[in-house]
Amino acid sequence: MKFMKLGTRPDTFYTEQATRTLTSEIPSDLVIQINDVTYLLHKFALLPKCGLLQRLCYDSSDSESFTVELHDIPGGEDAFELCAKFCYGISINISAHNFVSAFCAAKFLRMNDAIEKGNFVGKLESFFNSCILESWKDPIATLQTTATLPEWSENLGIVRKCIDSIIEKILTPSQQVKWSFTYTRPGYTKKQHHSVPKDWWTEDVSDLDIDLFRCIIMAIRSTYVLPPQLIGEALHVYACRWLPGITKLNKSSGSSASQTEESKLKNRKIIETIVSMIPADRGSVSVGFLFRLLSISIHLNASSVIKTELIRRASLQFEEATVSDLLYPSKSSSDQNYYDIELVLAVLETFLKLWKRMSPGAVDNSYFLRSIRNVGKLIDSYLQVVARDDNMQVSKFVSLAETVPSIARVDHNNLYKAIDIYLKVHPDLSKADKKRLCGILDCQKLTPEVRGHAVKNELLPLRTVVQLLYFEQEKGSMANTSHKLLKQHEIILGAKQRTTTKDSQSKQSLGQEFNGDVTRTTQILESREKDHHRHKRLDANLALDLEKKIAIRGRDIEETESERVRGVKDESSSSYKLEVVDPKKIIRRARSKSEHSMKKADRDK
């Protein structure tokens, strides 16, 4: 940072009670009052350089003491003291940190060249134009100090000149950047990187107030020189610098209780301003950043317009998200591990609305199909994480899982894993909740390996196990029949090929016999296929009867371990005999039968 040194005399100002004066053999004849501080000074030093004091002291004689009140001087007593020391020739240092107050005070006192050549205002203007505006960090530091004197800074053109200087340097090609800048990104060191990164300016600019930051960003956007992604990166850096909880999952930092009302209002203004500046181009900011902004806006009670816009923007890039992008705590719970599933549900619903608005022809497009299936995988992976939350309600879990359309899931393997995790973490789940939870599972969409695991899963409800056994048996039966039909078809094709090697006369005579064989073989195959379908219907009826009998004669197997009894009426004596029935044995026999069918099908193959 550059500075300007003026004056050569040592500082002899000192304080006595509430009075500031300087060591001098000449008695004071000028009293300056600023707020609660009184300055005992001399006319001979100040009047030649201060046009305002000349006018105020015009009617006073040189010998008498004169009192002047300057309560409205910009910068207060500190700025006035800089001007007074300049008048006395006392050494002072001017930098970007005190330039604004000194310049405004000098303008107020009319310390310009019209009063005396080489006056304070002229020297300050020269320093501002040749030093501050020519560097990179000094205009930013100067802008930060204008917050104390916004009207004066605006009227004197300080703000406009600093912003123009900053924008000019930001638009400079990175290979031409020669000045120092702040860049603390992980993994970046200037020794290893000789080239200047394109976002070299973002961290320094993030130190500014949100209003000044907005002025710079909007001015840059209006030039159309920088890409939208670079603008988005600047917004991301600024959010990390000022918004609570943006860099880590920290629920307490974003809660209403831990923030004062003033702090909440300030943060709300910041997030609303940032959202309003996000470029319309898709991908200008990451979907993870959008989710973080959305989570914070919910905690800060931002306007519904801002939240709706963030949900819309996040839904447009939903397929690019990862599970970690979705893991944010719920505002309504004090538990750190209670995830905000409603936030994800809102984005998912908006994504599906946008997806359904496409023309029917677009739905068949591979890009759109891949997009929705990526979202389906994302939601199932997210469900596996939130299923480990002790406080996760079944209704919210099921609601999110059911919102995913069937076309988004190629199989239900990941959904089954999420359900299995939920059942393990919530062992005290009621019978009704278990049925509701497993009702979202499509047993036909499970691969054989996962279906085999599910059949042996004792946490699943009985109805789900029966469905799994039925589909397992059906798959095995279909595979066995298909294998036999394939063999018969190969025999027929072989016979046809052999007949082509004989002469035409034999071929005709044999052809008639062969056609008869083919006809008979075809009839046999059709008869076997009909038998297969009849057995298939019988298997289905047996499975349904099994389920009905178990439902009538007792509760579900996971609900009881006791034996059940049934009455068998004796025809001769009209009495009842008691026979012990174990539902577990029924399930085991069904499972054994299913496994036996699968092994038999494998042997036939």
With 0-12 CB in 10 A as exposed, 13-18 as middle and 19+ as buried, what is 599? exposed
Q: 24-59: buried (b, 16+ CB within 10 Å) or exposed (e) per residue? A: eeeebbbbbebeebbbbbbbebbbebbbbbbebbee
Strands (E), 51-208: 66-69, 92-95
Q: 407-434: buried (b, 16+ CB within 10 Å) or exposed (e) per residue? A: ebbeebbbbbbbbbbbbeebeebeeebb
Q: Residue 547: its pLDDT value, please?
A: 52
pLDDT above 90: residue 552: no
Farthest CA pair distance, the chain: 150
> What would the two tokens of residue 224 be?
């159309």
- What's the pTM? 0.75
Does residue 322 sit in helix, strand or coil?
Answer: coil
* Helix H or strand E encompassing 20: strand 19-22
Q: Residue 151: its pLDDT value, please?
A: 96
Q: How confident is the model at residue 245 (pLDDT cuts 50, 70, 90)?
A: confident
Q: Which of 338, 343, 429 is nearest to 385 (CA)?
A: 338
Domain ranges of the chain: 3-132, 465-498+523-604
Average pLDDT, the chain: 81
Question: Tell me: the pLDDT tens digits for 479-507?
Answer: 445 444 455 545 555 544 554 444 444 44
Q: Residue 553: its pLDDT value, please?
A: 40
- CATH 3.30.710.10 assigned to domain 3-132? The reply is yes
